[in-house]
Structures are given as C-alpha cells and as structure tokens.
A and B are shown apart, each in its own frame.
Chain A
Amino acid sequence: MSDSHVYTPYHPRWLRRRVSTYWWLQKWSYFRFILREGSCLFVGWFVLYMLLLVNAVGKGPDSYARILEWSAEPWVLGLNVVSFLFVAFHAVTFFEAVPQALVVHIGRTRVPGRLVMAAHYMAWALASVLIAWLIVGA
C-alpha cells in the first residue's frame, strides 16, 4: 500500500506509541463500545438456549417440563437476566445507529434520521407485543 512514502515507516527517530491492549478501558465511550460488541456473546447464548428449548418441546411434555425446571436454576436464571440486559442494550445501540447508517429517501426528499429511528422503535414494540400475544395471550 505505501508506495512512495517508504522512508516514513522506518524513520529511526520518530516516536511511535503502541496502542495498549486494554485501550477499551481507557475511556467510557471505548468501554461502552466493547460492551456493545460483547453483547454478541449473549445473542449467541440465547440462540443456544432457544435451540435447547425448541428441542425439548419437540421431544415431548416431559422434557419440556424438565427444561422449564432447568431454566429456573439460579445460574441459568442469572445468566438469562444478564443476557436480557445485554440484548436490550444491543437493541438500543443498534437502533441508535440506524440514522447514521441508513439514509432513506421518499421521492426526492430525505426522511429525517429521527423518523427512521422512530420507525425502528415502533417495529420493535410491535414485534414484542406480537410475540407476547402469541406465547402468553393466545
């Protein structure tokens, strides 16, 4: 990549400071970033948890009852509470970023970012209500 500026990377007298391995601990905004990225671990865990649950449902009422019991165990419950917080954080940070990443035009006019974000929050609320209704309500 560096074609003509060859002397720069090797200049003996210029001071290069290495980025610390723990750079994400140095500033709150960096730490928030690493928390956001870390939320993916809990997204992954939730997929695993749901797969176990669906699998148990497929195996019959007994194994379904067993998995409900298992999910009430303190460590599973604790993990799920933490997971919920992280997944909710993931959702909020994802929708927060939407206006920056997605520019929507209707005809020639540009839809304001706030409106695009609001639409996402609306969809989130609708999806949540629908899920709750499907599982608990119906």
Chain B
Amino acid sequence: MADHITLQVARYRPEQQSDITFDEYEVPCPKEWVVLDGLNHIKDRLDGTLSYRWSCRMGICGSCGMNVNGEPKLTCATFLADYAPGPIRVEPLPNFPVIRDLIVDIGDFMQKLVRVKPWIMRQTEKPVSEGEYRQTPEELDEYKQFSMCINCMLCYAACPIYGLDPKFLGPAAIALAQRYNLDSRDEGASDRMAVLSEHEGIWGCTFVGECTKVCPKHVDPAGAIQRYKLTAALESMKAIFMPRGA
C-alpha cells in the first residue's frame, strides 16, 4: 500500500510494563501529512490510549519533539512521505525520564532554564518618563539568532553529554543565557556568570555539536557555548590580572 505507511510507536504504560515496547499502526500517507498527523490519526481512529504532547502543530510551541528514526525532530515539521516506504520508528525524546508512551518529564530543563535568568536585568530601571530602551538593528542581530529558541529540548535529546551527566546545564539554557548576555539592554551578564561558569555549566560541553544540527530554529547552541567559554576564560584572566576590575 503506497498510500499508507507503518508507524512503530514506542509504548510505555508504567502500570503494566517496565520497559518500552513498540506497537505498529498503518496510517495514511498523503504528501502533506507530518508524523504528528499520523499520531493524531492513531489517537482518533485506531488506538485512543496513545499518549503524546502537542499543541500548535506549526513549529512554535515546541511540545511535539520526539525521536523519529533515531533523530530528535519536531513531529509537526517532519513529513511522513520523506520516510517512505517506511516503517517509521517514533520514540520519546532520549535523555529524559519517560512518564508514559511518548511523554517525557521536562522538569529538569524547566529548573535549569530559571537558573540562568533568561530575562532582561538592569542595575537600575529607568523611569518610564525617560522613554524606551532603544536598540540598533546591529545590536539586535547580535542576539536575534539565540532568541529563536522555542524550548523544544531537541538539543538536550541530541546531547550525549547531557545523557551521561544530567547535571550538565545543557545547550538551550546556555544559548538562552547568551541571548540575554548579548542583548545591549541587558546588564545581568555578571549575575549569570556564576551559574554558567560552574563545572556543570559550560565546561561540561565537549562540543559534540549535535545540538546545533538538530535545532529546528537554527539557534546554534553549540556556538553559544563555545563563545561563552572564551568570554568566561577572559573574565577569569581579568579577575586575576586586574582584581579591582578595569
């Protein structure tokens, strides 16, 4: 059947089983269908017990990330036809604990995200009467790329270092820290440095580079981390050679 494709979907029902098993479903495969459409078809027509997360189905909310044939993907942006004749293996994102079927626990990332303080910090807020904080297009370009992150965590799923050491702060959190560090309106870089320059911050990264390859928004977290290593190293040198701070 050329107009159908087989999905091998990972199932984990914690009350029944202790490891993942795979269920196979035949789903229609028109050229405009993505993997998420296939899963929705299963849920609606074939097996209502399947659990997975999704929301916007247009690459903005970042909730439908799964491993498709071993690669972390947004299932709303991964076309079934690209994998013809199949089968396609759909698994929960690796490196995270699996709660049920294709749903993983994202608590660890949520905590890390807050630790890097991803918001604009000012030493002193200027009064509204003085107007807005202005920025030139060049200043915007410095961080714009990093602001595209949708917290889909595909980078964490692709990062073997995070898989090996869950304490590692990880790609997206560091890239988002850089998004604010490089923002001309922000004055919180030294605040973030304490967290970023820990052992489990940037120094855990050995630049495998997979985070950047799987990022659906072209954020380049690997680049953000390497750049920050240089920044942190130079700051360390400054702290020793110019203890008073120039």
Contacts and interface: CB of A to CB of B under 8 A. Distances in A.
A5 interface: yes
B230 A101 contact: yes
A59 interface: no
Interface in B16-69: 18-20
A5 B222 contact: no
A1 B210 CA distance: 25
Interface in A53-101: 97, 99-101
B111 A100 contact: no
A30 B105 contact: no
Contacts of A14: 14, 97-99, 105
Interface residues of B, number: 38
A70 B97 CA distance: 56
B208 A15 contact: no
Contacts of B18: 15
A100 B222 contact: yes
Given A5-B108, A13-B14, A30 B97 contact: no
Contacts of B94: 17
A103 interface: yes
Given A5-B111, A8-B108, A19-B160, A97 B14 contact: no
B16 to A, nearest CB: 11
Contacts of B19: 15
Given A17-B94, A23-B163, A29-B213, A101 B223 contact: yes
Contact of B207 (A26, A97, A110): A97
Given A1-B167, A37-B206, A101-B226, A15 B97 contact: yes
A75 B208 CA distance: 32
A14 B167 CA distance: 18
19 contacts: A2-B111, A4-B111, A5-B107, A8-B108, A13-B15, A14-B14, A14-B98, A14-B105, A15-B12, A15-B20, A16-B97, A17-B94, A17-B98, A19-B160, A24-B160, A30-B210, A99-B223, A100-B222, A100-B223
